[in-house]
């Protein structure tokens, strides 16, 4: 059951990030123009116009494979948290102008709806991280072994002696 939820979370993120990444690259001229029209320095907009869709596609690659899925979940959480913060700031009126650098169907959503969708995917990413770090199996750590390997063998032996 837990593995099914993890796989479902990964699939949902793959669909979201794959769709938005490809949509931004497919209509790159419009996306770059929107990024250069943001409330950030022009050069940042130029660099982010390339970086954002490439990071989205890169995260899809991580999410596809069980051994790297945790990194895909963590990257998705970070990226979607930044997006959610930005959308939240727009929604409360923090910027004088609000050009949308969004892709596809997200371009036509209200800012409130956009924030709800982003926060839902933040939650999906967090669930994926939680389940990936507590489920036994290939690519996952036993819950009691999360920090094993972070301490030296000598310190581990000393801990065992103290417990006895």
Confidence of residue 158 (pLDDT cuts 50, 70, 90): low
Alpha carbon distance 10, 62 (integer Å): 10
Confidence check: pLDDT of 39 > 50: yes
Q: What is the mean pLDDT of the chain?
A: 84
Instruction: Report which DSSP code applies to 67.
Output: T
Alpha carbon distance 36, 122 (integer Å): 26
Res 147: pLDDT: 39
Q: What is the CA radius of gyration of the chain?
A: 20
**Beta strand spans in 93-147 (E):** none
Q: Tell me if 14 sits within 8 A of 60, measured CB to CB.
A: yes
Number of Cβ within a 10 Å radius of residue 96: 6
Percent of the chain as helix, strand, coil, to the nearest 5: 75, 0, 25
The percent of residues in the chain predicted with pLDDT above 70, rounded, is 79
- What residue spans define the domains of the chain? 2-163
Alpha carbon distance 112, 104 (integer Å): 17
Res 134: pLDDT: 82
Res 137: pLDDT: 56
130-148 tens-digit pLDDT? 999 886 654 444 444 443 4
Distances (CA, A) of 155 to 27, 81, 145, 147, 159: 55, 37, 15, 13, 6
12-22 tens-digit pLDDT? 999 999 999 99
Res 150: pLDDT: 39
In this structure, the dihedral spanned by the alpha carbons of residues 41, 45, 46 and 48, taken in order and rounded to 10 degrees, is: 130
């Amino acid at each position: 059951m837990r593995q099914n939820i993890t796989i479902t979370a990964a699939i949902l993120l793959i669909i979201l990030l794959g769709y938005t990444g490809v949509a931004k690259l497919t209509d790159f001229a419009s996306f770059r123009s929107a990024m250069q029209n943001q409330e950030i320095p022009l050069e940042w907009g130029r660099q982010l116009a390339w970086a954002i869709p490439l990071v989205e596609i890169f995260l899809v690659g991580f999410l596809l494979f069980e051994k790297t899925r945790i990194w895909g979940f963590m990257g998705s959480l970070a990226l979607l948290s930044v997006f959610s913060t930005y959308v939240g700031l727009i929604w409360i009126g923090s910027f004088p102008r609000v050009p949308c650098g969004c892709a596809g169907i997200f371009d036509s959503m209200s800012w409130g709806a956009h924030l709800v969708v982003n926060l839902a995917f933040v939650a999906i990413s967090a669930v994926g991280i939680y389940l990936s770090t507590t489920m036994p199996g290939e690519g996952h750590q036993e819950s009691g072994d999360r920090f094993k390997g972070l301490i030296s063998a000598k310190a581990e032996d000393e801990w065992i002696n103290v417990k006895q």
